[in-house]
Amino acid sequence: MKNKCMSGGLVYSTEAGRMCPGCRQPVAQCSCGQKPVPAGDGTVRVSRETKGRGGKAVTLVKGVATDTVGLVALGKRLKAVCGTGGTVKDGVIEIQGDHVERVLAELQAQGHRVKRAGG
């Protein structure tokens, strides 16, 4: 039987989205400074995926070594370049549509080491 104090607390709220485990604030308003930078090999991987999206293509950008705020800003820039919508989820930027070539060109122009992943 789980004790109330042993449970990890609130993880997701429909009102605010994902919650920071350190300060228990929404991730976008985290004040504890524990925003982990994802560890990687320094290569940004861009791929196209249709799984679980009803056949709609989505461009995925993975492996960007920056914090959540930087990732959201980069996602906003890439969405503007492609002229489409998208989101940032769990350290992955999702751009609606097949825009792999545009995203590759933009990331290379910004100085990232980029590799096309998948077919």
CB 22 within 8 A of CB 34: yes
Report domain extents, the chain.
Answer: 1-35, 37-116
pLDDT-flagged residues of the chain (< 70): 1-14, 16-17, 33-40, 119
What's the distance, CA 88 to chain centroid?
4
Q: What is the mean pLDDT of the chain?
A: 80
Annotation: CATH topology of 37-116: Translation Initiation Factor Eif1 (3.30.780)
For tokens 């605010």, the residue is 16
Return phi, psi of residue 110, to 5°.
-85, -5
pTM for this structure? 0.66
**Helix pair 68-82, 100-109: axis angle to 10 deg:** 120
**Tens digits of residue pLDDT in 43-73:** 889 999 988 888 899 999 998 888 888 889 9
